[in-house]
Amino acid sequence: MTDQPTESPRDPSPEVLAELARLNEAASVAPNNMEPMIALWKAVARLDYWVFVNRGTPESPIPYMVSGQDGPIMCIYSNAKQAQSAAHANGVIPTDEPVPLFGVPLPEALDWAMSFGEYGVTGVVIDYPYLGAWSPLRNLQHLKPA
């Protein structure tokens, strides 16, 4: 799909993961207030890597996606443990098999994810189903560093 090289993802610190959970909770309790959701996605864009469950091959990775009302939604993960757990919990990969993962460093991951718009991808979701906050794909452009 793209020429973006894959790299080994590095997991964020427990403090960063706790902050993502806190921001997600703030966004969940105020769904009509966009400020907490914006804060969450800014924090997601500050991660070193976005981790993906690979549904393609190592040579041609394809991120795991879920069906959305308007089209496919790309599942991004903050860390390998979340990605592996989600792949098993959602039945994407049998629980007795290893989960193929790949990572894309930020801020390059923003452009890489947005490039999937040409294939009909409409959004991204973080740590699905654990956090589950989603964003329209076009909003990722606002998270790019100035």
pTM over 0.85: yes
Query: Quick one: average pLDDT of 14-39?
Result: 94
Q: Band the pLDDT of 5: cuts 50, 70, 90.
A: very low
Q: Are 12 and 43 in contact (CB under 8 A)?
A: no
Lowest-confidence pick of 2-6, 90-94, 110-114, 119-123: 2-6
Where b means 16+ CB within 10 Å and e means fewer, 4-20 reads bebeebebbeeebbebb
Q: Band the pLDDT of 9: cuts 50, 70, 90.
A: low
Closest CA to 121 of 79, 56, 66, 78: 66
Share of the chain above pLDDT 70, in %: 94
Give the contacts of 12 (CB within 8 A, at least 6 positions apart).
47, 48, 78, 79
Exposure of 108 by Cβ count < 10 A (0-12 exposed, 13-18 middle, 19+ buried)?
middle
pLDDT at 83 over 60: yes
- The third-level CATH classification (topology) of the domain covering 14-141 is Trna Endonuclease; Chain: A, domain 1 (3.40.1350)
Query: How confident is the model at residue 4, as a pLDDT?
Result: 46
Query: How confident is the model at residue 3, as a pLDDT?
Result: 43
All structural domains of the chain with their residue ranges: 14-141
CB atoms within 10 A of CB 136: 13
Pairing, β 49-53 against β 101-105: antiparallel
> Can you tell me which residue has the tokens 């592996």?
84
Q: Band the pLDDT of 100: cuts 50, 70, 90.
A: very high
